[in-house]
């Protein structure tokens, strides 16, 4: 028993977090920055944060993750990090030559109160920023929100720094895909392409964090939204923001700045959320949905009808980030599974209300907590066991102890591949999720069934 000190009895905790279901802002900002083409993320703080964030993203994607750091020393921590950032800007442009340096902060520089735009102006005045190159920034204090907040902040910075408006409207539609995998961004882009819609997606980490092995290391891989494209988002017809926590702040900012109409949707995970996503795109763009998409939808439905008996009334426990959990809960409920324990590390009453609404018809008590941790999650499972758990790699400890089947979903996944290559969004992503759920449940049935009822055909 690896987590043998976790008692079944739930004691109220006000100060101690155990086994968090979240991490801190800057890693989300770093991830978002990598979704800009030719961009080097920069961590304005002491270098440990940068090392940790690069390592965590690398372990998740099995890809190079490059970023600079201001490498604060004790002196800079007391007197401010201006000299460090100016030197970093000089070194980075001389050696690594990015198009954009996207600066995020840490709890260190935020507590000190470093003014990044002022430092960037000083660097510019000193001639440290080559012509045609950019420095953008987002404040990402680690003691506010979570990694998803950091993602939202840096995505919003893309709007603040690049969106321009000349009052004209193009036919283009902006898509903010949310804190999802490169494979998901690719799939969202593919769906828009099938509909024949011109889109700009930001950020876009496909072909950055799932790039090919070619025998060459490219500091700035082919993927990522270009600065040129970001400059046009202010003229787009509309913005579709996927996921309230990750995408809505940027969409709202663009509406305020350039008056671009925005639609907030759930992440397109599962049948109904994907339906709404496609229906919204179709309506805004004024296009009809092609057969290829109807075909995918029909296939997803077909799996549900064919295999419904294995989903029906199976109890599931979910832990992860709020936007994913909302969409996933809706999907599971729609196939008559019972998500009964749902924990996110991100705080917010809206999340709890939304989950309660989605699970209203389940004839079984449902636990939901925003701002919870995986220690509480485990305790809930001990008190009311489930048939399946979905969450990041850390859930494997609970899975082993409690002997409950487990599907890796969310961030971080440190011990398997697939998540960066194959989507979980859209109808195709839904099919993949169903395949994973069925494989996991049926493997368990095969393992546990007595010899006489061991089935060849299922």
Contacting other proteins (CB under 8 A), which of 175, 192, 369, 397?
397
CB of residue 219 to other proteins, shortest distance in Å: 8
CB of residue 443 to other proteins, shortest distance in Å: 23
CA dihedral 366, 368, 373, 375 (to 10 degrees): -20
Contacting other proteins (CB under 8 A), which of 58, 160, 165, 226?
58
E strand residue ranges, 321-386 = 338-344, 367-370
Contacting other proteins (CB under 8 A), which of 29, 36, 39, 92?
92
Q: Which is nearer to other proteins, 95 or 456 (CB)?
A: 95
**SS3 assignment, position 423:** coil
- Please report whether residue 22 would count as binding other proteins according to CB under 8 A: yes
Contacting other proteins (CB under 8 A), which of 30, 39, 68, 266?
68
Q: Which is nearer to other proteins, 46 or 424 (CB)?
A: 46
**SS3 assignment, position 159:** helix
**Structural contact between residues 402 and 385, judged by C-beta atoms closer than 8 angstroms:** yes
- Please report whether residue 49 would count as binding other proteins according to CB under 8 A: yes
- Please report whether residue 439 would count as binding other proteins according to CB under 8 A: no
CB of residue 15 to other proteins, shortest distance in Å: 4
**SS3 assignment, position 240:** strand
- Please report whether residue 90 would count as binding other proteins according to CB under 8 A: yes
Stretch of 153-161, 207-215, 267-275, 437-445 lying at the interface with other proteins (CB under 8 A): 207-215
Between CA 273 and CA 330 the distance in angstroms is 8
Q: Which is nearer to other proteins, 146 or 199 (CB)?
A: 146
**SS3 assignment, position 111:** helix
Q: Which is nearer to other proteins, 184 or 373 (CB)?
A: 373
CA dihedral 316, 321, 324, 326 (to 10 degrees): 70
393-423 burial by CB neighbour count: b if 16+ within 10 A, else e? bbbbbbbebbebbbbbbbbbbeeeeebbebb
First CA to last CA across the chain, in angstroms? Answer: 33
- Please report whether residue 72 would count as binding other proteins according to CB under 8 A: yes
Q: Which secondary structure element, helix H or strand E, spans residue 400, and what is its range? A: helix 395-402
- Please report whether residue 207 would count as binding other proteins according to CB under 8 A: no
> Which residues, including other chains, have CB under 8 Å from residue 304's CB and lie 6 or more apart?
271, 311, 335, 434
- Please report whether residue 96 would count as binding other proteins according to CB under 8 A: yes
How crowded is the C-beta side of 260, counted as CA atoms within 13 Å? Answer: 33
Q: Which is nearer to other proteins, 166 or 217 (CB)?
A: 217
User: Interface mask (CB under 8 A) for other proteins, residues 334-363, using x and -?
Assistant: -----------x------------------
CB of residue 357 to other proteins, shortest distance in Å: 27
Q: Which is nearer to other proteins, 66 or 289 (CB)?
A: 66
CA 7 to chain CA centroid, nearest Å: 31
Starting from the edge strand earliest in sequence, which strands make up the sheet with 199-201, in order?
199-201, 173-176, 238-242, 261-265
> Which residues, including other chains, have CB under 8 Å from residue 326's CB and lie 6 or more apart?
244, 266, 267, 351, 354, 355, 358
Stretch of 38-46, 129-137, 271-279, 422-430 lying at the interface with other proteins (CB under 8 A): 38-46
Cα–Cα separations (whole angstroms), residue 191 to 68, 277, 331, 375: 35, 10, 19, 38
CB of residue 19 to other proteins, shortest distance in Å: 5
Contacting other proteins (CB under 8 A), which of 35, 45, 203, 270?
45
**Structural contact between residues 304 and 427, judged by C-beta atoms closer than 8 angstroms:** no
Q: How many residues does the chain have?
A: 458
CB of residue 223 to other proteins, shortest distance in Å: 14
- Please report whether residue 27 would count as binding other proteins according to CB under 8 A: yes
Q: Which is nearer to other proteins, 57 or 238 (CB)?
A: 57
CB of residue 418 to other proteins, shortest distance in Å: 17
Q: Which is nearer to other proteins, 28 or 234 (CB)?
A: 28
Residues 127-156 that bind other proteins (CB under 8 A): 141-144, 146
- Please report whether residue 375 would count as binding other proteins according to CB under 8 A: yes
- Please report whether residue 194 would count as binding other proteins according to CB under 8 A: no
């Amino acid at each position: 028993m690896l987590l043998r000190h976790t008692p079944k009895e739930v004691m109220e905790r006000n100060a101690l977090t155990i086994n968090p279901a979240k991490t801190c802002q800057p890693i989300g900002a770093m991830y978002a920055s990598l979704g800009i083409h030719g961009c080097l993320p920069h961590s304005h703080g002491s270098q440990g944060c940068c090392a940790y964030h690069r390592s965590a993203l690398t372990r998740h994607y099995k890809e190079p993750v490059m970023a600079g750091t201001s490498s604060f020393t004790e002196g800079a921590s007391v007197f401010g990090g201006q000299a460090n950032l100016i030197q970093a800007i000089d070194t980075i442009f001389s050696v690594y030559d990015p198009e954009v340096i996207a600066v995020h902060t840490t709890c260190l520089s935020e507590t000190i109160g470093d003014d990044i735009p002022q430092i960037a102006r000083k660097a510019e005045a000193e001639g440290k920023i080559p012509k045609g190159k950019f420095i953008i920034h987002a404040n990402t204090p680690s003691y506010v929100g979570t990694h998803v907040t950091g993602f939202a902040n840096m995505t919003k910075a893309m709007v603040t720094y690049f969106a321009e408006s000349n009052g004209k409207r193009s036919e283009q539609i902006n898509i903010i895909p949310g804190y999802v995998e490169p494979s998901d961004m690719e799939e969202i882009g593919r769906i828009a392409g099938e509909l024949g819609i011109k889109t700009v997606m930001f950020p876009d980490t496909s072909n950055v964090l799932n790039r090919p092995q070619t025998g060459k290391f490219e500091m700035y891989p082919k993927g990522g939204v270009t600065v040129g494209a970001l400059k046009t988002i202010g003229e787009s017809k509309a913005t579709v923001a996927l996921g309230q926590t990750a995408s809505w702040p940027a969409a709202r900012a663009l509406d305020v700045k350039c008056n671009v109409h925005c639609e907030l949707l759930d992440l397109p995970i599962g049948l109904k959320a994907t339906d709404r996503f496609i229906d919204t795109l179709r309506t805004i763009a004024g296009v009809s949905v092609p057969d290829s998409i109807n075909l995918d939808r029909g296939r997803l439905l077909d799996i549900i009808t064919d295999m419904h008996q294995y989903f029906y009334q199976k109890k599931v426990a979910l832990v992860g980030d709020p936007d994913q959990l909302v969409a996933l809960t809706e999907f599971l409920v729609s196939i008559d599974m019972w998500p009964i324990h749902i924990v996110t590390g991100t705080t917010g009453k809206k999340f709890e209300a939304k989950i309660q609404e989605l699970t209203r018809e389940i004839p079984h008590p449902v636990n939901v907590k925003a701002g919870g941790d995986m220690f509480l999650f485990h305790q809930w499972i001990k008190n009311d066991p489930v048939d399946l758990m979905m969450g990041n790699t850390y859930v494997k400890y609970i899975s082993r102890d409690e002997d409950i089947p487990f599907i890796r979903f969310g961030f971080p996944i440190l011990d398997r591949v697939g998540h960066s290559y194959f989507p979980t969004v859209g109808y195709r992503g839904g099919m993949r999720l169903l395949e994973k759920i069925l494989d996991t449940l049926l493997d368990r049935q095969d393992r546990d069934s007595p010899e006489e009822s061991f089935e060849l055909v299922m």
